[in-house]
Amino acid sequence: MTTTNQALKQWIEEVTALTQPDTVHWCDGSDAEYGSLIKTMVADGTMEELDQKKWPNCYYHRSDPQDVARVEHLTFICSEKEEDAGPNNNWADPEEMKDKLKGLFDGCMKGRTMYVVPYCMGPISSPHSKIGVEVTDSAYVAANMKIMTRMGTQALEKLGDSTDFVKGLHSIGELDPERRYICHFPETREIMSFGSGYGGNALLGKKCHALRIASVQARDEGWMAEHMLILGLTSPEGEKHYVCAAFPSACGKTNLAMIIPPAEYKGWKAECVGDDIAWLRYGEDGRLWAINPEAGFFGVAPGTGAKTNPGALESLKTNSIFTNVAVTDDKQPWWEGLTDEPPAHATDWRGNDWTPASDKPAAHPNSRFTAPAKQCPIASPEMEAAEGVPISAFIFGGRRATTAPLVYQAFDWNHGVYVGAMAASETTAAATGAVGVVRRDPMAMKPFCGYNFGDYFQHWIEMGAKSDKAPKIFHVNWFRKGDDGKFLWPGFGQNMRVLDWILKRCVDAGDAVETPIGYVPADGALNLSGTNVDADTMAKLMDVNPDEWKTELAGEKEYLESYGDDMPKEMWDQYKALAERLQGVKA
C-alpha cells in the first residue's frame, strides 16, 4: 500500500528519516490486517487472547501502570501566540517545542515497525468529515484506530491528492512519564505525541484531532467541534428529536447515549448516534446538524453492567479490545459493576492476584473497552448520514455533589452559553491527578479546547446569533448527593424522565417555573411515577441553595476575571444579570 499523494509521501519520508523504523507498514484497514496485528501482539505479549467462545475476537491489553489516563499537565497547545492558547491550556512556543520533540523522536522507532494509519473522522460519504494520518510505532494504537475510525484505504481514497489532512506523529517512546508530551500545533494542524500509549494521549483521531485541532478549525470555518454525545429519541406518537449532551470525562455520556427508557416509557425509542464527540454545523433549514466523527466507543468499563448500560454491554461482546480491566481465571474480562457477584479470583489490571477480599479494585477506574459503534443494539442508522442529524437541545452537565439542581433550562441562547461556560464538575480518573476536586469545565471542554476559552465563548455566542432555530440549552446534574453521601437521583435509565421534560420544552410544552438560575420543572411536570423519588428528595434535588449559590457566584466572577480582556462582554452581562436575580433569593 502506498499513495500518489505527494504531500503525504513527503511527510512520511521525513518522519521515517527522523524516527528510523525497521519497517514501514501502511494500514489498509482490512479485517485481515487487523487479524495479523492482533496475532503479532498476542505473540509478543502486548495482547492476551480472551475466551474466544464467549468473547469472539476480543482481546485484552494491560498498559504500563504509569500510563493509564490522559495527562493534562503534559498536554500543550503550541499556537504561535501564547494568548491564542489561553489560560485554559498549557502553552509552549511551537519552534522550541518542535526542537525538543525532534530530539525525542530522533531514532525512536529503531527496531520497531512504523504504522502509517490514514483515518477519516466522520462518515466517508460526508462532506464535513476530515482526514488525518497517524504515524505510530504501536500496533495497539493501530488496532484501536481501526475500531475507532474509518481507517485505511477508504480514508486514503477520500483524501486523494489533497493536502488537507491532519498530521499526527506518535511514538510510545520508552513510556517514561518524564519524557511524555502531547502537543498540538493548531495553525499547521499537526499533532506530536510522545511517551504514552493510552487513550486520548495516543489514539490521535479522538481528542487531539477531533476536539483540539478541530475546535480551532471549526472556529475558523464557522462550525463547532464539541465533547458531546448525540442521542435520538422518538415518542410513541412518532415525534423524533435529537439532543447533544456535554458532560466531562467519565460523567455519563456513553451511558446517556445508550439510554434504555424505563417501563413507564413504553413505546419510546432511543437511538445512539455518538457517545463522545459531535461536529455541528448549520443546515440550509437553519437548524444545527451533528455528525459523530468516530466509528467506535472508547468507553469507561467500571460501572458498565446489565442494569446500568445493557446497550454498551451488547456492543462490547465481540470484536472488542479491553484495556486495564481484570481477567478471570477462565479468560473473561471483568470489572467492578459488570456482575453483581465478583469472581472468586481474578488477575487485576496490574497483573496481580485479586480476590473480593482485596483492598484494591480489580479493574483500574479508567479501564476501557474499545468497541465498534455499529455493534450497539440501538445504533442509529444516521451514524452514517452525510449531513448528520438536526439537534433540538444542548444539555450541559457535571458531577456535583451540591449546588447544581437536577435540571434547569437557560432563558435564552446567551444565557445557555453562560450556563455551559460556568459548568463545574468533580475531576475523575479519566485524567491523572486528584479525583473528586470541583473545577470549572466549560462545555466539558476544559482539557480539549485547542484555543482560548474567551474566544471559544465568543464563537458560541456568534453561532447562536446565526439562526433563530438554534438548540434550546439545559443543564443537568445526575450526581447531587444527600446528607448521607448517597446520590439523590437514581440516574441511568431514569434520566429519561428529565429528557422527557427537556423534549417537551423544545416544543414549547412542559410546565416550568422561573428561578434565578433558569426555568425548572413546575410541580408535577417531571414524570416520577414508578420511581422511589419522593417529594422531599425532589425538593433536595431541585434546591437552589442561597449560600451555595453565593459561593458559586463568587467562583464564577473569579473565573471570568481570570480571562481578562479575552472574556466576552456578553458573559459579564450574564454574570451581572444572574447576580441581580440571586439578590432576590431569600436566605
Residues taking part in catalysis: 251
Write out the three cell numbers for 282. 448549520
Residue 492 binding result from Mn ion, ligand SPV, ligand GTP, none, given CB thresholds of 5 to 8 Å by partner type: ligand GTP
DSSP per-residue letters across 56-112: TT-EEE---TT-SSB-GGGEEE--SSHHHH-TTSEE--HHHHHHHHHHHHTTTTTTS
145/148 Cα distance (integer angstroms): 5
Nearer to ligand SPV, 441 or 570 (CB): 441
The smaller minimum CB distance to ligand SPV, of residues 21 and 132, is found at: 132
Cell of residue 408, nine digits: 434547569
- For residue 503 the three cell numbers come to 423534549
Residue whose C-alpha is closest to residue 383's, from 216, 199, 229, 259: 229
| Binding of ligand GTP by 320 (CB under 6 A) | no
Question: What does the alpha-carbon distance between residue 152 and residue 26 come to, in Å, rounded to a whole number?
Answer: 8
CA torsion through residues 326, 329, 332, 334, sign: negative
Eight-state DSSP code of residue 174? T
Residue 542: how many CB atoms within 10 A of its CB? Answer: 18
Number of residues that bind ligand GTP (CB under 6 A): 22
Helix, strand, or coil (residue 22)? coil
Q: How far is the CB of 43 from Mn ion (least distance, A)?
A: 32
Contact status: 72 vs Mn ion (CB under 5 A): no
Closer residue to Mn ion, CB minimum distance, 5 or 427 = 427
206 binds ligand SPV (CB under 6 A): yes
Q: Are 413 and 571 in contact (CB under 8 A)?
A: no
Four-residue CA torsion sign, 122, 124, 128, 134: positive
**Residues 470 to 489: which contact ligand GTP by CB under 6 A?**
478-479, 487
Looking at 29, 199, 252, 405, which residue binds ligand SPV (CB under 6 A)?
199
* Grid cell locating 360: 484494591
The answer to whether the Cα torsion of 188, 193, 199, 205 is positive or negative is positive
Site string for Mn ion, 215-254 (x = CB under 5 A): ----------------------------------x-----
What part of residues 511-530 is at the interface with ligand SPV (CB under 6 A)?
A: none
The binding track of 271-300 with respect to ligand SPV, each residue x by CB under 6 A or -, is -----x---------------------x--
Out of Mn ion, ligand SPV, ligand GTP, none, what residue 519 binds, judged by CB under 5 to 8 A for its kind, is none
Rounded to a whole number of angstroms, the distance between the first and last alpha carbons of the chain is 70
Site string for ligand SPV, 248-267 (x = CB under 6 A): -x------------------
**Choice between 116 and 445, CB closer to ligand SPV:** 445
x/- contact string, 274-303, with Mn ion (CB under 5 A)? --x---------------------------
Rounded distance, CA 50 to CA 315, Å? 16
Q: Checking DSSP bridges between strand 229-234 and strand 269-274, what pairing results, if any?
A: antiparallel
User: Quick one: which segment of 189-197, 199-207, 352-360, 478-486 binds ligand SPV (CB under 6 A)?
Assistant: 199-207
Contact yes or no for 422/440 (Cβ under 8 A): yes
Instruction: Report the nearest approach of ligand SPV to the CB of residue 171 (Å).
Output: 18
Considering CB distances under 5 to 8 angstroms, the limit depending on partner class, which of ligand GTP, ligand SPV, Mn ion, none binds residue 200? ligand SPV
Binding partner of residue 197 among Mn ion, ligand SPV, ligand GTP, none, CB under 5 to 8 Å per kind? none
Chain residues 415-474 in contact with ligand SPV, contact rule CB under 6 A: 430
Written as nine digits, the cell of 70 is 490522559
Site residues (CB under 6 A) for ligand GTP? 247, 249-255, 275-276, 299-300, 302-303, 308, 430, 478-479, 487, 491-492, 495
Site residues (CB under 5 A) for Mn ion? 249, 276
